[in-house]
Amino acid sequence: MLSLCFHAPSKPFFESCIDWLSKNGFHFISVNELEQIINEEKPFPKGAVVITIDDGWQSNLDNIVPIADKYKVPVEIFVSTEVVEKGHGYWWSYIVASRKAGLSKQPVEFFKTIDNADRIRILEETKTRIQLKREALTIEQVNEISKSPYVGIGSHSVSHPILPRCTNDGSRHEILDSKEVLEEWTGRQIKHFAYPNGDFSNREISFLKRFGYTLAFTTEQKYLTKEKLKSRYKLPRFMMVEHATFEENICRIVGVWPVKPQKNKVVYP
């Protein structure tokens, strides 16, 4: 099976992907159906594809949801709650804007290597100098799209940190509080998680199990095989590279253009 991850694709790009998959013998299953397959409540299907969306970008409202409804394709949007609630930009957008303004030199990747407390401190200082408009969905929009029969909502943490760089309390907060907030917003049980940046440790898996999550997605770029389904908190996904061409992405996901080992994690943005 294929498991694909988008972030903020354009409507033509996303529709081209869905249309191509539909016309080439793939059939779409929801994350809930994937869970049933993992639990052996349904047989392992051939040619199935799972569509996931990370972060909860404002553009998803116009570029993802209408296409899901049009093609009757289930998608699951993994939402980071803080940026939705506060209405500002994603943290890496502040770093990119700061570099463009000549106010800092460190790239986004640097901030993924430091302790989360240091990342937050620098980010808060950056926000005093850089102003960004809302980039994420609103609370009302998250609630509204969750009512679609084709859109599921999952957790992508509170603030999209690198979870292994957090303290124990920090990691617990990111995993538990995002679940509780999303359940309050949507009135639905939140059972699925996607690791920010694909980073996790056994601690995060322990928290996920404790707080009632039933599966989690990584950014390991491999197919969903029967063997991979045995590790329900380490499910792989192919990252759809939205600054690359449609043709390049199709070649990658079907294996015509294999992902090299050092390229296993596609950095976004």
Q: Quick: pLDDT tens for 127-149.
A: 999 999 999 999 999 999 999 99
* Residue 94 covered by a domain: no
pLDDT in tens, 64-106: 999 999 999 999 999 999 999 999 999 999 999 999 999 999 9
* Residue 245 covered by a domain: yes
Using CA atoms, how far apart are residues 74 and 94, in angstroms rounded to an integer? 32
Question: Domain range spanning residue 49?
Answer: 2-89+133-263
Answer whether residue 258 shows pLDDT above 90.
no
* Residue 232 covered by a domain: yes
* DSSP H or E segment with residue 3: strand 2-6
User: What per-residue confidence (pLDDT) applies to 268?
Assistant: 34
Torsion of the alpha carbons at 243, 66, 17 and 49, rounded to the nearest 10: 120
* Residue 113 covered by a domain: no
Phi then psi for 12, rounded to 5 degrees? -60, -40
* Residue 109 covered by a domain: no
CA-wise closest residue to 45 among 55, 31, 34: 34
* Residue 218 covered by a domain: yes
User: What per-residue confidence (pLDDT) applies to 260?
Assistant: 57
CA-wise closest residue to 17 among 264, 258, 239: 239
Residue 45 and residue 29 in contact, taking contact as beta carbons nearer than 8 Å: yes
Q: How many domains does the chain have?
A: 1
As given in the structure block, the two tokens for residue 57 are 């970008």
Identify the CATH number of the domain in which residue 177 sits: 3.20.20.370
As given in the structure block, the two tokens for residue 241 are 């590279």
Share of the chain above pLDDT 70, in %: 96
In this prediction the pTM is: 0.94
User: What per-residue confidence (pLDDT) applies to 267?
Assistant: 40
